[in-house]
Structure 1
Amino acid sequence: MRIIAGRFRGLGLANVGKGDAGAHLRPTTDRVRESLFSMLTGGRFGDPISDARVLDLFAGTGALGLESLSRGAAHVTFVDDGRKALSLIRENIAKCRCADQATIIKRDATRLGAGQPHDLIFLDPPYGKGLGEKALTTAITGGWLAPDALIVWEEDTAITPPDSIAVLDTRRYGDTTISVCAFQPDQSQVG
């Protein structure tokens, strides 16, 4: 795995091989990550990365958040509760020398609690367990999503987003489906 573009371009990240099934680590491949960021930066969604506050839920290796930092995001909050994942995230932050732009939260992404609004959310839960829906609902309730926040949701099947989430685009890459969504809160969800 490597950073695809930006200031960390070409930097190799910690190697997890084909992933760690026991730790639910299934890193997004370089090819899928490149396609995902091409989709985000292709103009349809404006410029969702520059100066963004990014929330990387089920962060795994942290590759998605670090790719966004490399491309100009202001700050990334990584959320994961796996020992192996947290170790990989720390190692990758050290490789990128970006600790001043990163926060690691050791927590189950479906139990976030209260937080600050973020502009871009990466949601890459273990496949087939309905955890993405739970994590997103918790993030909305806790105030983690800014109005009009863009959400990039990886899953292996069709997603069922909460009512305030609009699906803007969906693309399939092998066994991975990437849905780009937007948070469109009603007044009761704006804090």
Structure 2
Amino acid sequence: MVRIIAGARRGRVLAAPSGGTTRPTADRVRQALFDVLAHAPWGGPALLEGAHVLDAFAGTGALGLEALSRGGERAVFFETDRQALTALRANIHACGWEERCTVYPRDVTVPPAARATPATLVFLDPPYHKNLPGTALAALKARGWIAPNAIAVIETGRDEPLPFTDETEGAPACPHELLAERQHGAARLSIWRLA
């Protein structure tokens, strides 16, 4: 069972599609993530309060909805799976946040031009082992979806290399700043300040 952990909609149970297509971030992992966001020297309440959130590969929308519950202003969700979209829309409705949320049923690696305020907080929870974080972020940035110095939270498989790193000798330095990294079971979370 997936639920919102804290804030205005604390305890709200979220719908999740059956089957293995969608892999919602576990409650304990979300709790640990939002603890880091709330208490890190580069984070704190100001990071979430009034944030414009973008939840890419949204699935149930648990990450974006958690951010809204904790003070975020608006959220944009990208998702392509039909069952996940049904659950996502049901979860937005159950929270009463239709006016604060926009859902794009399309591939986040080929987004339309931004029609909303650029996101200050970005969540990417793509399918593991497909090398999607860098592609998605580059596309979102090019189309105006991401604010300067936004914070990006990326979930990958524990055994995947960190996004934006290349151990090849002579590779250019990563323009993004790695702020934190945590491992939880099969998941690895990395938090970045985007250049």
Q: Could you tell me the TM-score, scaled by structure 2's length?
A: 0.88
Amino acid at match of 1:118: A
Counterpart of 2:25 (choices 28, 40, 44) is: 28
Which residue matches 1:107?
Answer: 106
| Separation of aligned partners in 1, 2:85 and 2:164 | 27
* 2: CA distance, partners of 1:84 / 1:53: 25
Q: Which residue of 1 aligns with 2:67?
A: 68
Q: Which residue of 2 aligns with 1:159?
A: 162
Shift of 1:8: 0.1
Per-residue CA distance 1:138-187 (angstroms, 9 max, x = gap) = 11111211111000000012223284322111110011000000112xxx
8 Å Cα contact 2:16/2:84 also seen in 1: no
Q: Which amino acid aligns with 1:99?
A: E
**C-alpha distance in 1 between matches for 2:112 and 2:143:** 5
Q: Please give the residue correspondences for 1:97-176 in structure 2 after superposition, counting only pairs within 5 Å.
A: 97-115=96-114, 116=116, 117-156=118-157, 157-161=160-164, 163-176=174-187
CA distance in structure 2 between the aligned counterparts of 1:32 and 1:16, rounded to whole angstroms: 19
Instruction: Measure the CA separation in 1 of the matches of 2:49 and 2:164.
Output: 26
Further displaced range: 30-39 or 105-114: 105-114
Structure 2 CA distance for aligned equivalents of residues 48 and 84 of structure 1: 31
Counterpart CA distance in 2 for 1:161 and 1:142 is 20
Q: Equivalent residue for 2:88?
A: 89
Hey, what's the Cα distance between the residues in 2 that align with 1:146 and 1:167? Answer: 17
**Unpaired segments of 5 or more residues in structure 1?**
185-191
Give 1:82 deviation, angstroms: 1.0
Moved beyond 4 Å, runs of 4+: none
Provide the identity percentage.
Answer: 41
Tell me, in whole angstroms, the C-alpha distance in 1 between the residues paired with 2:88 and 2:16.
11
Q: For residues 147 and 49 of structure 2, what CA distance do their matches in structure 1 show?
A: 15
**CA-atom RMSD in angstroms:** 1.4
Residue in 2 aligned with 1:187?
A: none
Note if contact 2:122-2:150 (Cα within 8 Å) is conserved in structure 1. yes
Q: How many residues are treated as equivalent by the alignment?
A: 180
| Distance in 2, Cα, partners of 1:64 & 1:150 | 14
Please tell me whether residue 52 in structure 1 is matched to residue 29 in structure 2: no
CA distance in 1, matches of 2:3, 2:79: 20
Aligned to 1:48, the other structure's residue is in SS state helix
The range that moved more, 137-146 or 60-69, is 137-146
Q: Is the 8 A contact 1:113 1:138 kept in 2?
A: no
Give the structure-1-normalised TM-score: 0.90
Amino acid of the structure 1 residue aligned with 2:29: V
